Amino acid sequence: MNINKTINNNKNQITNWYIIDAKNYKLGRLSSTIAHILKNKNSPCYLPNEEGKSNIIIINSKEIQITGKKYKKKEYKRHSGRPGGLKIETFEKLQQKFPNRIIEHSIKGMLPKNTLGRNLFKKIKIYSENIHPHKNIDLTEIK
Rounded to an integer, what distance in angstroms lies between the CA atom of residue 75 and that of residue 91? 6
Mean pLDDT of 79-103: 95
A 10 A CB-CB count for 126 gives 21
Per-residue pLDDT of 29-41, as tens digits, reads 999 999 999 998 9
**Given this model, what pLDDT does residue 135 score?**
73
Q: Does residue 24 lie within any of the structural domains?
A: yes
pTM of the complete model: 0.83
Note down the domain range covering 23: 15-64+111-141
- Res 115 pLDDT > 70: yes
Query: CATH number, domain at 135?
Result: 3.90.1180.10
What is the chain's mean pLDDT, rounded?
87
Number of domains in the chain: 1
127 inside domain? yes
Q: Which residues contact 89 (CB under 8 A, 6 or more apart)?
A: 75, 76, 97
Q: For 46-68, what is each residue's pLDDT tens digit?
A: 888 888 888 999 999 999 999 99
